[in-house]
């Protein structure tokens, strides 16, 4: 019996080759895409779950914005005063350092941390001690760093040179942090070394916010109670820190997905993207399943006669249900296999797109459960229509062919087509709006000449002799200008409060200003417009400061602005210039108030204006030569400002390209469905077309007749989808202060495109039917 | 064996109804060969469908081997379809996706006949109808007469006590028709199978022991 079912199923597949192909392909594509998204979503949810203490570890953050920057003395203080805290650990920001072992030298990101880091975070130790960071001159390597430097992992006791100066002994080798770890590093350095190397760490000041702090609570501790205890520690320890900068605990399970904090409460974060992905995946899967159901039910009606015969010769309902279910599951099984192959092929591309590192082999069990579950569900749902509907018919009715009526059973299928196209059209509108908005925010004036700027990290000798480096770079002809800043102008990195200025009102000390330190040639290198006053000229400007227009507005300074004095970090500085607002954070937000103090000691980056008369490669070649004359051991690290500026819109771009892909998929799968249905309907109406042609109907009339039937659901879909999509996009656009408005022509264009695509799909069949020789059709009767 | 008492059948049409069979009384004994004749639309096919449990009468009683049919449940009816009644259709109604062999085998599959017995019974029937050479062909590779042979082979393989044939030769030319009718005669005489056929042809009807004329839903 069973083999007979399989045989029939396979023969049916073969007989309706086109139909089966469309059906399987549509489902496979839909499944592949939604499986990718399921894998991605599961991966996102698995973040940090591998830590043994993942329930009891918290990051300490400042309330309000949830910033992770905290003063150096905080962690030891918390450990000392709060008994519920088992460990309190500080880490520096991961920063690139040069590591050398023998001939090998490599620049990697690492961080300084307390010895208890290895107890709090449980990155497994392969070789060496779990208390490795107690000494000063030690280093803990990850497995891959050890391999890069030494070619093996058994390297405890070997020496590594840090930044060409300090010799450190390898005290332990740990496993690489896995891909789903929020905390990543290539090596760990001891906190005592940090104190030795950095003056500001030695100072151990409550006023300097520069390190991350993590705590692990005792098993029985109540996190909310601990949170109340630590809340006001900062203000109590140093009165100058405003009480609004209170502390909160951010549980490890929320680090990745719930990283947006407002007023001490988690408000979302990456979870929004993950949810969006989930919804899109579900939508595509739904479209594909609907397609599958539509096509298999359409086909099953052709088999009504078979059902009748089988019933007349003794099949009961259960057997027929089993047969149709089995066939449906077989089809789904084939699609499932194809989907997995497709997914395997698409993974590298998907990983590049989303910046993740997913693999099928390491997929969690939950993924396979979801895959099998979805497969079974699709198979059962799409098999249930023919199984229950057709098997319920009395054989006489089926044998007489009376259920094959165009009107009655066609309606639910049209409803399904409407549903598919609604999703497809909505996604298309969403795509258009997102793309227009991305273009709009990218076309906003930047406020400085972002093209032709290159950032070079200051480190090694270049850090010490920055002035000479700048002079020699200009002398080489590679660049025309350069200025020393604390950080790349393209990535906002600092803010200050506590400024005072003439005519300041009560409470205005707490206003946040963006800060970017500069040196001479600041405005001229970037191409910033100085509206009043002048650029920094020389070291004589040591106590000068420039501000932007937004800051001027906040401060309400009287004319003339230049020459007035403001106090920043306890230092009185004279305003030398007012800079026109430029994009520092996001081009869709109004520029915030900013100050630009002259301060070469906070130097981090030198930004050069490349020589426009030379090619970029020539510029960089010359610059590299100059760089290596200072830093022979360091690899030449640089980044182009226009590239890092574009990074700001990475999220929007990802969203845009994803939605575009999904919209394309949705319309393709929907059209596959439409194609299948039209193949089917045309075959069914062959006789009608034959008769009409004999009566004198022309090719156009027949084509219109056959295509028109399929355009109706598309029209309805457009009417349903347009307002829904417009509403959703209207809400989405509210995130952007500067935004486009949704225009009628966007929707009209999408509608037109959808109709055109649908028409093209359907007309292939209709035209063929219309051109057919009517005698042929009539002879089949 | 078969007894119809005051059987009527009508379909609702708009607000009224369309009377197809009207107060039919009919008894058919075991081993009979009965031909039902009548003009188009007289109700003869409906009568056959009622006899074959494919349709239910609107009124009246139908006794199959003394048992009242309308009291039977779905399971019991399926049982009768599997074992007691064989169908032969005008349009053959073979399953296109199955070969000749598999088509004939299907009723045995539904009857849960073990594989070895299935094999021998199908082989017997193929042999008897001289279609062994065609067993691996699909229905669309056969002529109409051959398809009907397969149809009959499928009807008798489960060894039914009665065969209901709805214009079995309607799509065939006269030579083929004769062959089929001879076969029915043989089955009736040799295998003692009761045969009830609907036909338009006087020649074919003459093969039966008894001819029942239907006119406007009544036995004339």
Are residues A549 and A596 in contact, defined by beta-carbon separation less than 8 angstroms?
no
Give the residue carrying structure tokens 């005063």: A81
Is B98 in CB contact (< 8 Å) with chain A? yes
Three-state secondary-structure class, residue B145? helix
- CB neighbours of residue A424 within 10 Å: 29
Query: CA–CA separation, A751 vs A29, rounded Å?
Result: 24
**A505, A546: one domain:** yes
Residue among A651, A668, A652 nearest A428 (CA): A668
A522 shares a domain with A390: no
Q: For residue A128, what are the contacts with CB-CB under 8 A and spacing of at least 6?
A: A140, A156, A170, A171, A172, A173
pLDDT one-digit tens code per residue, A392-427: 766 666 666 554 444 444 567 778 888 888 988 998
- What is the spatial distance between Cα A128 and Cα A122, in angstroms, rounded to a whole number? 14
Claim to verify: residue A83 and residue A194 sit in the same structural domain: yes
* Cβ–Cβ under 8 Å, residues A627 and A476: no
Are A394 and B54 an interchain contact pair (Cβ–Cβ within 8 Å)? yes
Cα nearest neighbour of A312 on chain B: B81
Give the DSSP H/E element, type plus range, for residue A481: strand A479-485
A431 Cβ contact list (under 8 Å, min separation 6): A656, A659, A660, A663
pLDDT of residue A408: 42
What residues make up the domain containing A38?
1-47+275-404
- ∠ CA A464-A470-A471, nearest 5°, is 115
Determine the Cα–Cα distance for residues A218 and A224; give it in Å rounded to an integer.
13
In chain B, the N- to C-terminal Cα span, in Å, equals: 22
pLDDT at residue A405, as a whole number: 45
Of the candidates B49, B75, B109, the beta carbon closest to that of A4 is on B109
Using omega within 30 degrees of 0 as the cis cutoff, is the peptide bond preceding A560 cis?
A: yes
User: Across chain A, what does the average pLDDT equal?
Assistant: 86
Q: Residue B170's closest CA among B205, B135, B142?
A: B205
Q: List CB contacts (< 8 A) between B158 and chain A.
A: 313-314
List all residues 6 or more positions away from B6 whose beta carbon is below 8 Å from its beta carbon: B23, B24, B25, B59, B60, B61
For an interface test with B, give the residue of A5, A313, A327, A395 to mutate (most B CBs within 10 A).
Answer: A313
Residue A771 counted as domain residue: yes
- The average pLDDT across A574-579 equals 93
Mean pLDDT value across residues B145-154: 90
pTM for the structure as a whole: 0.75
Task: Quick: pLDDT tens for A640-672.
Answer: 999 988 888 888 888 888 888 888 888 888 888
Across the interface, do A313 and B158 touch by the CB < 8 Å criterion? yes
Is 80 exceeded by the pLDDT of residue A608? yes
Q: Is the dihedral of CA A190, A191, A193, A194 positive or negative?
A: positive
Burial-class residue A185 by CB neighbours within 10 Å (0-12, 13-18, 19+).
Answer: buried
A322 contacts in chain B (CB < 8 Å): none
> Is A309 at the interface with chain B, CB within 8 A?
yes
Between strands A138-142 and A166-174, the pairing is: parallel
Report the distance separating Cα A609 and Cα A88, nearest Å. 45
Question: What residues contact residue A728 under an 8 Å CB cut-off, 6+ apart?
Answer: A426, A430
Give the nearest chain B residue to A320 (CA atoms): B110
- How far is the C-alpha of A264 from the C-alpha of A266, rounded, in Å? 7
List all residues 6 or more positions away from A710 whose beta carbon is below 8 Å from its beta carbon: A417, A674, A677, A678, A681, A758, A762
Per-residue model confidence (pLDDT) at position A379: 85
The mean predicted confidence, pLDDT, of chain B is 88
Q: Quickly count: other Cβ atoms within 10 Å of residue A445's Cβ.
A: 10
Whether residue A3 lies within 8 A of chain B, CB to CB, comes out as: no
Find chain B residues with C-beta within 8 A of A4's C-beta.
98, 102, 105-106, 109
Same domain, A216 and A314: no
Phi, psi of B69 (to 5 degrees): -70, -40
With tokens 């080759």, the residue in question is A17
- Are A250 and A261 spatial neighbours (Cβ–Cβ below 8 Å)? yes
* Residue where the block lists tokens 């010490």: A464
| Number of domains forming the structure of chain A | 4
Task: Tell me what ipTM this predicted complex has.
Answer: 0.74
Cβ burial, residue A243 (10 Å; 0-12/13-18/19+): exposed
The answer, for B175 touching chain A at a CB cutoff of 8 Å, is: no
**Number of CB atoms found within 10 A of residue A730's CB:** 13
- Label residue B53 left, alpha or beta by phi (over 0 means left) and psi (-120 to 50 means alpha): left
Question: Residue A304 has what pLDDT?
Answer: 75
What does CATH list as the number for B32-42+74-219? Answer: 3.40.50.300
Supply A726's token pair.
Answer: 């417009």
- Asked whether residue A498 falls in the same domain as residue A525, the answer is yes
A319 contacts in chain B (CB < 8 Å): 110
The dihedral of CA A423, A425, A431, A436: what is its sign? negative
Q: Which residues of A touch B110 (CB under 8 A)?
A: 310, 313-316, 319
Token pair 């309606």 is found at A411
Chain B residue numbers with beta carbons less than 8 Å from the beta carbon of A402 are none
Confidence class of residue A454 from pLDDT cuts 50, 70 and 90? Answer: very high
Check A8 against B95: CB less than 8 A apart: yes
| A400 and A417 assigned to the same domain | no
* Residue in A11, A16, A314 to test binding to B, most B beta-carbons within 10 Å: A314
What average pLDDT score do residues B171-185 get? 88
In the structure encoding, which two tokens stand for residue B86, read together?
A: 């064989």
Among B169, B168, B162, B166, CA closest to B195: B162
The string of pLDDT tens digits covering residues A232-265 is 888 888 887 777 788 899 999 888 888 887 777 7
Dihedral sign from CA coordinates of B20, B24, B28, B33: negative
A425 shares its domain with A374: no
pLDDT of A526 > 90? The answer is yes
% of chain A at pLDDT higher than 70: 96
Q: Give, for A330, the enclosing helix (H) or strand (E).
A: helix A317-354
Q: Which of B54, B82, B105 sits opposite A314 (nearest CB)?
A: B82
B110 touching chain A per CB within 8 A: yes
Which residue among B49, B74, B87 sits closest to A313, beta carbon to beta carbon?
Answer: B87
Q: Which of B9, B110, B157, B158 has the most A C-beta neighbours within 10 Å, making it the best mutation to test the interface with A?
A: B110
Give yes or no: residues A616 and A652 share one domain.
no
Q: Which residue has the tokens 């199959």?
A: B64
More confident residue, B122 or A459: B122
Query: Do residue A399 and residue A417 come from a single domain?
Result: no
User: Is there a domain that residue A250 lies in?
Assistant: no
- Closest-CA residue of B relative to A303 is B95
Contact call for A8 and B87, based on CB within 8 A: no
Using the structure block, give the residue that is written with the tokens 């022309």: A698
Residue A745: pLDDT over 50 = yes
Q: How many whole angstroms separate alpha carbon A343 and alpha carbon A335?
A: 12
Contact assignment for A396 to B78 by CB distance below 8 Å: no
End-to-end Cα separation, chain A, in angstroms: 32
Percent of chain B with pLDDT over 90: 35
Q: How far is A394 from chain B (nearest CA, A)?
A: 7
3-state DSSP call for residue A222? coil
Please tell me what DSSP assigns to residue A272. Answer: H
- For A576, counting Cβ atoms within 10 Å of its Cβ (0-12 exposed, 13-18 middle, 19+ buried), the class is buried
**What is the spatial distance between Cα A578 and Cα A552, in angstroms, rounded to a whole number?**
8
**How large is the angle between the packed helices A270-301 and A650-684, nearest 10 degrees?**
10
Spatial distance between the Cα atoms of A450 and A454, rounded to a whole number of angstroms: 9
Q: Beta A605-610 vs A453-457: how paired, if at all?
A: antiparallel
- How many helices (H) does chain B have, and how many strands (E)? 7, 10
> How far off is chain A from B118, nearest CA to CA, in Å?
12
Q: Would you state the structure tokens that stand for residue A372, as one six-digit string?
A: 């099998």
pLDDT value at residue A406: 41
Stretch among A660-664, A673-677, B117-121 having the lowest mean pLDDT = A673-677
More confident residue, A705 or A624: A624
A309 and B81 within 8 Å at the Cβ level: the answer is: no
φ, ψ of residue A106 in degrees (nearest 5): -150, 145
Task: Quote the distance between the C-alpha of residue B146 and its chain's center.
Answer: 17
DSSP string, A117-139: HHHHS-PPEEEE-TTGGGSSSEE
Least confident of A88-102, A511-525, A682-696, B157-171: A682-696
Q: What is the mean pLDDT of residues A27-55?
A: 89
A617 & A667 share domain: no
Does residue A581 sit in the same domain as residue A632?
Answer: yes
Structural element, H or E, at residue B20: strand B16-28
Beta-sheet pairing, A453-457 with A95-101: unpaired
What DSSP string describes A389-433? IIHTS-HHHHHHTTT--HHHHHHHHHHHHHHHHHHHHHHHHHHHH
Question: In this structure, are residues A217 and A251 in contact, taking their beta carbons and an 8 Å threshold?
Answer: no
Element (H, E) at A93: none
**Would you list the domain boundaries of chain B?**
32-42+74-219
User: Which helix (DSSP H) or strand (DSSP E) does residue A23 occupy?
Assistant: helix A17-45
Domain check: are A623 and A691 in the same one?
no
8 Å CB contact between A603 and A486: yes
Q: Give the nearest chain B residue to A16 (CA atoms).
A: B97
In angstroms, the separation between the Cα of residue A347 and the nearest Cα of chain B is 39
């Amino acid at each position: 019996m069973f083999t007979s079912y399989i045989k029939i199923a396979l023969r049916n597949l073969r007989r309706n080759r086109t139909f089966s192909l469309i059906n399987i392909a549509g489902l496979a594509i839909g499944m592949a895409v939604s499986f990718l998204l399921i894998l991605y979503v599961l991966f996102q949810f698995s973040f940090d779950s591998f830590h043994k203490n993942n329930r009891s570890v918290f990051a300490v953050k400042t309330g309000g914005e949830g910033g992770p920057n905290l003063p150096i003395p905080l962690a030891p203080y918390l450990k000392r005063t709060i008994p519920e805290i088992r460990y309190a650990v500080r880490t520096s920001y991961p920063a690139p350092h040069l590591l050398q072992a023998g001939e090998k030298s490599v620049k990697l990101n690492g961080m300084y941390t307390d010895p208890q880091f290895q107890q709090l975070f449980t990155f497994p130790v392969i070789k060496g001690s779990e208390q490795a960071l107690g000494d000063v001159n030690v280093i803990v390597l990850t497995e891959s760093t050890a391999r890069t430097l030494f070619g093996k992992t058994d390297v405890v006791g070997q020496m590594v040179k840090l930044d060409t100066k300090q010799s450190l002994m390898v005290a332990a080798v740990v496993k690489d942090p896995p891909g789903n770890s929020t905390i990543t590093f290539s090596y760990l350095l001891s906190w005592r070394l940090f104190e030795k190397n950095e003056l500001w760490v030695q100072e151990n000041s409550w006023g300097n916010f520069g390190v991350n702090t993590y705590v692990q609570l005792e098993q029985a501790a109540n996190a909310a109670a601990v949170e109340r205890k630590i809340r006001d520690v900062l203000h109590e320890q140093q009165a100058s820190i405003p009480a609004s900068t209170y502390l909160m605990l951010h549980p490890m399970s929320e680090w990745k997905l719930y990283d947006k904090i407002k007023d001490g409460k988690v408000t979302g974060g990456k979870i929004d993207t993950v949810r969006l992905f989930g919804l899109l995946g579900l939508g595509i899967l739904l479209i594909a399943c609907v397609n599958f159901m539509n096509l298999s039910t359409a086909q099953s009606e052709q088999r009504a006669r078979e059902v009748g015969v089988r019933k007349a010769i003794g099949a009961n309902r259960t057997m027929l249900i089993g047969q149709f279910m089995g066939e449906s599951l077989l089809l789904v099984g084939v699609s499932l296999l194809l989907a997995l192959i497709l997914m395997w092929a698409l993974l590298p591309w998907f990983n590049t797109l989303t910046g993740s590192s997913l693999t099928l082999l390491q997929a969690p069990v939950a993924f396979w459960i979801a895959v099998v579950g979805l497969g079974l569900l699709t198979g059962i749902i799409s098999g249930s229509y023919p199984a229950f509907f057709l098997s319920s018919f009395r054989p006489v009715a089926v044998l007489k062919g009376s259920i094959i009526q165009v009107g009655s059973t066609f309606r639910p299928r049209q409803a399904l087509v409407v549903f598919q196209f609604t999703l497809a059209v909505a996604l298309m509108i969403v795509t258009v709006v997102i793309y227009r908005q991305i273009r709009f925010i990218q076309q906003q004036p930047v406020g400085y000449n972002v093209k032709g700027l290159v950032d070079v990290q200051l480190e090694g000798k270049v850090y010490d002799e920055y002035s000479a480096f700048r002079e020699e770079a200009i002398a080489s002809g590679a660049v025309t200008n350069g200025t020393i800043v604390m950080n790349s102008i393209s990535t906002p990195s600092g803010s200050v409060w506590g400024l005072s200025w003439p005519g300041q009102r009560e409470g205005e000390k707490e206003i946040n200003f963006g800060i970017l330190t500069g040196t001479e040639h600041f405005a001229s290198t970037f191409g910033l417009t100085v509206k009043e006053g002048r650029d920094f000229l020389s070291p004589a400007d040591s106590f000068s400061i420039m501000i932007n227009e937004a800051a001027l507005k906040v401060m309400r300074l009287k004319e003339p602005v230049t020459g007035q004095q403001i106090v920043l970090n306890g230092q009185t500085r004279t305003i030398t210039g007012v800079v026109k607002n430029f994009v520092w954070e996001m081009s869709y937000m109004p520029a915030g108030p900013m100050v630009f103090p002259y301060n070469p000691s906070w130097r981090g980056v030198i930004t050069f204006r490349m020589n426009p008369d030379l090619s970029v490669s020539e510029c960089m070649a010359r610059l590299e030569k100059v760089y290596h004359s200072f830093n022979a051991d360091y690899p030449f690290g640089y980044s182009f400002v226009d590239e890092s500026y574009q990074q700001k819109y990475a999220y929007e771009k990802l969203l845009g390209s994803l939605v575009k892909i999904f919209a394309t998929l949705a319309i393709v799968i929907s059209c596959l469905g439409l194609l299948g249905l039209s193949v089917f309907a045309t075959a069914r109406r062959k006789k009608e077309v034959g008769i009409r042609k004999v009566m004198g109907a022309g090719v156009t009339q027949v084509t219109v007749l056959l295509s028109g039937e399929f355009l109706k659901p598309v029209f309805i879909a457009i009417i349903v989808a347009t307002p829904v999509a417009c509403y959703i996009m209207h809400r989405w656009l509210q995130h952007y202060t500067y935004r486009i408005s949704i225009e009628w022509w966007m929707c009209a264009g999408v509608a037109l495109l959808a109709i055109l695509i649908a028409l093209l799909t359907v007309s292939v069949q209709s035209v063929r039917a219309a051109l057919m020789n009517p005698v042929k059709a009539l002879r089949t009767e | 064996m078969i007894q119809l008492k005051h059987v009527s059948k009508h379909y609702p049409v708009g607000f009224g109804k369309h009377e197809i069979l009207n107060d039919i009384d009919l008894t058919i004994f075991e081993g009979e060969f009965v031909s039902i004749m009548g003009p188009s639309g007289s109700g003869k096919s409906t009568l056959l469908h009622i006899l074959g449990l494919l349709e239910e009468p609107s009124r009246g009683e139908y006794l199959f081997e003394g048992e009242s049919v309308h009291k039977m449940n779905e399971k019991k009816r399926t049982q009768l379809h599997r074992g007691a009644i064989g169908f032969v259709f005008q349009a053959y109604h073979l399953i296109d996706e199955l070969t000749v062999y598999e088509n004939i085998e299907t009723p045995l599959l539904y009857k849960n006949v073990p594989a070895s017995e299935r094999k021998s019974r199908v082989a017997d029937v193929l042999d008897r109808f001289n279609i062994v050479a065609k067993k691996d062909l699909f229905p669309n590779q056969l002529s109409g007469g051959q398809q009907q042979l397969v149809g009959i082979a499928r009807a008798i393989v489960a060894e039914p006590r009665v065969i209901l044939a709805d214009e079995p030769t309607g799509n065939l030319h006269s030579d083929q028709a004769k062959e089929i009718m001879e076969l029915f005669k043989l089955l009736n005489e040799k295998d003692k199978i009761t045969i009830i056929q609907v036909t338009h042809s006087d020649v074919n009807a003459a093969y039966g022991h008894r001819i029942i004329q239907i006119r406007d839903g009544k036995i004339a």
